[in-house]
A and B are shown apart, each in its own frame.
Chain A
Amino acid sequence: EVQLVESGGVVVQPGGSLRLSCAASGFTFDDYAMHWVRQAPGKGLEWVSLISWDGGSTYYADSVKGRFTISRDNSKNSLYLQMNSLRAEDTALYYCAKDGRIAVAAGYFDYWGQGTLVTVSS
């Protein structure tokens, strides 16, 4: 059974930093690209970032480019999101999501974690 478990969400002040983690199990982690997707309270879904299966390629939404960094450790079956210069508009539930296609990222998400809540507030 595929499981994705996020952690690291807390209340942080504007301008602060945070690192989210996602522990993956139930599939061959290093066969798949991985994503972060977020959802502000009461709002829709927003794709945040993508990392290729080997970590060699990364992509970001314009809203987070230059502030967030996605990474992975395939030896630990883990995905990370380093979040710097946080703003109030980054407040959201952050989901870790598995790409739906093996090897080369397709860009859709076939499994999701339950999310971790990041609140940016003074």
Chain B
Amino acid sequence: EIVLTQSPGTLSLSPGERATLSCRASQSVSSSYLAWYQQKPGQAPRLLIYGASSRATGIPDRFSGSGSGTDFTLTISRLEPEDFAVYYCQQYGSSPPDTFGQGTKLEIK
């Protein structure tokens, strides 16, 4: 089983700043099958990124994903007020897909 570790646990930033969230896998994620989700309180998760770097439909271009192998990053170039939420990474390179990271909470500083 691949274990995903997200860091930091909580990230405190101000609107307009750049956010960098990390997701590290315990073993290589095949074919960069790594997704990122955003979840706001009381809402379902929303897909942001799949395939490590492909933005999902309707996702603003301030969100970008990068990485391969065991190290992946979600970057939000300039934080908007609506971006403060919890972010999860998920690997789906193994079958079945069974691994989410524990989440990073992005909070307003």
Contact = CB atoms under 8 A, between A and B. Distances in A.
A110 to B, nearest CB: 5
Contacts of B63: none
Interface residues of A, number: 21
Given A95-B44, A110-B56, A44 B88 contact: yes
Interface residues of B, number: 25
A108 B35 contact: yes
Interface stretch (B19-27, B65-73, B75-83, B95-103): B95-103
Contacts of B99: 47
**Chain A binding surface SS class:** strand
Contacts of B37: 45, 109
Given A44-B88, A45-B88, A59-B95, A110 B47 contact: yes
Interface string A105-117: 0111111111100
A54 interface: no
A100 interface: yes
Interface in B30-62: 33, 35, 37, 39, 43-47, 50, 56-57
Contact of A106 (B46, B92, B98, B100): B92
Contacts of B97: 35, 47, 50, 107-108
Given A61-B98, A107-B95, 8 more contacts: A35-B97, A45-B103, A47-B97, A50-B97, A100-B35, A108-B97, A109-B35, A111-B47
